[in-house]
Amino acid sequence: MDELLKEVTARAQVWLNGNYDAETKAEVKKLMEAEDKTDLIEAFYRDLEFGTGGLRGIMGAGTNRMNIYTVGAATQGLSNYLKAQFASLPQISVVIGHDCRNNSRKFAEISANIFSANGIKVYLFEDLRPTPEASFAIRHLGCQSGIILTASHNPKEYNGYKAYWNDGAQMIAPHDENVITEVLKIKNVDDIKFEGNPELIEIIGEEIDNVYIEKIKTLILSPEAIERNKDLKIVYTPIHGTGIKLIPKTLREYGFTNIIDVPEQNVISGDFPTVVSPNPEEPAALAMAVKKAIETDADIVMASDPDADRIGIAIKNDKGEWILVNGNQTFLIFIYYLITKWKELGRLTGNEYVVKTIVTTEVMADIAIKNNVEYYNCFTGFKWIADVMRQNEGKKTYIGGGEESYGFLAEDFVRDKDSVSACALIAEITAWAKDNGKTLFEMLQDIYIEYGYGKEKGISVVRKGKSGAEEIAQMMADYRNNPPKEIAGSAVKTIKDYQTLKMTDVKLGEISNLEMPATSNVLQFFTEDGTKISVRPSGTEPKIKFYIEVRGEMKTRADYDAAEAAANLKVEAVRASMGV
């Protein structure tokens, strides 16, 4: 501990002595003078890692914090890489977008100055905008790259920095690793060009909004159902985030006339004053919207997270109670509807495909197989869905793709998950279901009857700080070295290790290769009774994540409660087996 404190103090002293602003130096001095050195250690024990997903961390002074200097180093490193990669272009250009978080605008403007100081043209959004719109703008404006300042649904103390390539998708190899190399070369604050060139910074806004919304409107598949149900009661909340900028407008442009807002949550704020966590996965984040739905007898509740790339929905069950629909179920509703309508409209030619991530429900795969639609399994994270789209560009037709973590993309003109189009689409599906004499809940039940019932449960075990990271690493090592032989009374038949890209047939003892574009620290266990457990450390938070899926069957809608009850018992048995 003495050695660590000595090292940390030396790193902090560099900031006190270096060319840093007075406010930052005062904060560092306060950390150094505090009796309890925990905060000092957390702020300086390492550099905030510019990983394959960019930066994400707690805001504050220090090498392990989000601040103008860590953001500056990231932008300078990215600038250097872009200049090397696109040296033959007369003008390199980038898009900068940001969300509602504290300091997001400040970080965006500082990044614009750094890019422009390096001779790079910047299209800077005038104000906060949804992440998917920035992805769209990169493609629409023909840019080479782009960044978005957001920490998605993390708590308010966090901010983040996502880097995108010229196709509008987050970077993957080799570009992500090459940018990391360039960022690591920035050893000194004086290496960062903070003095911007205003002539190279162009402010963008409404003109991009309009083109983007017009493109989203081309996704409509049931215009008659929308027209007949245009007064559908839709409660929408942006949870203090960027969705307020475009989602109500897009719903109205789609033809819906009865958008009910939650005024307290329309307030744009990085403090997220009405929620503990601005995460549409959390029941508490949707509580105010559900209350409004009860008051107004609404048809559906929808929410977007702070940067408006993820969607959460709530619907009424067969007892008239409002329930939250999880990410897997929302995904099933989207894919079922899209494939059904594409088939009805004669758009399925045998050359279409859908994409899911390896931790997302297997029921989706069953829907695709039964309808002769090709499906892809990719790593967690939308950059991998975008990679599948990139590989198939001009060869196959994309229908949709999504993941269990509340992200869906129904279009190919964006390359990241999109709650703007997803909110419009779920409203259309609600109208279509109503037109067909059913609720969304009954539609979900019908999917389970036709394709098999599935129940998913995500469990996150939080382990903070340096010791937490070590504990998570040890947990992964233990699962690898001593894999379970049975889980909840069912024998493990297959183990997939995406770090080694090996699949083990436990019964036969045979090992085969997994065909994936990269390695990833994920383990999966499949049992004889159809249970699937995936384990992985989070790439953006101090967590180890467990994804449990158990299977069952339903013959009628009346079987739903029994299937749910049996699945809940099974999930608990799986948790006990896995020690979580």
- Which amino acids are annotated catalytic? 152
DSSP string, 204-227: E-HHHHHHHHHHHHTT-S-HHHHH
For residues 304-317, one letter each, b for 16 or more C-beta atoms within 10 angstroms of the residue's C-beta and e for the rest, the string is: bbbbbbbbbbbbbb
**What percent helix, strand, coil does the chain show, rounded to 5?**
40, 20, 35
One-letter amino acid of 251: L
The CB-side HSE value for 426 (13 A sphere, CA atoms) comes to: 36
How many of the other CB atoms lie within 10 Å of CB of 84?
A: 10
Sheet harboring 259-261: ordered strands across?
259-261, 234-237, 300-304, 311-316, 322-325
> What phi and psi, each to the nearest 5 degrees, are found at residue 75?
-70, -35
Cα→Cα distances 250→44, 236, 243, 357, 428, Å: 44, 12, 10, 28, 12
Q: What angle do CA 143, 148, 151 make, to 5 degrees?
A: 160
CA 279, chain centre distance (Å): 11
Cα→Cα distances 37→61, 62, 403, Å: 14, 13, 40
**Is the Cα torsion angle 263, 269, 270, 272 positive or negative in sign?**
negative
**Is the Cα torsion angle 247, 253, 254, 260 positive or negative in sign?**
positive
Taking the alpha carbons at both ends of the chain, their separation in whole angstroms is: 30
Measure the CA–CA gap between 454 and 501, rounded to whole angstroms.
26
567 in Cβ contact with 552 (< 8 Å): yes
174 in Cβ contact with 189 (< 8 Å): no
| Contacts with 508 (C-beta within 8 Å, 6 or more apart), sequence order | none
Query: Of 133, 120, 58, whose CA–CA distance to 93 is shortest?
Result: 120
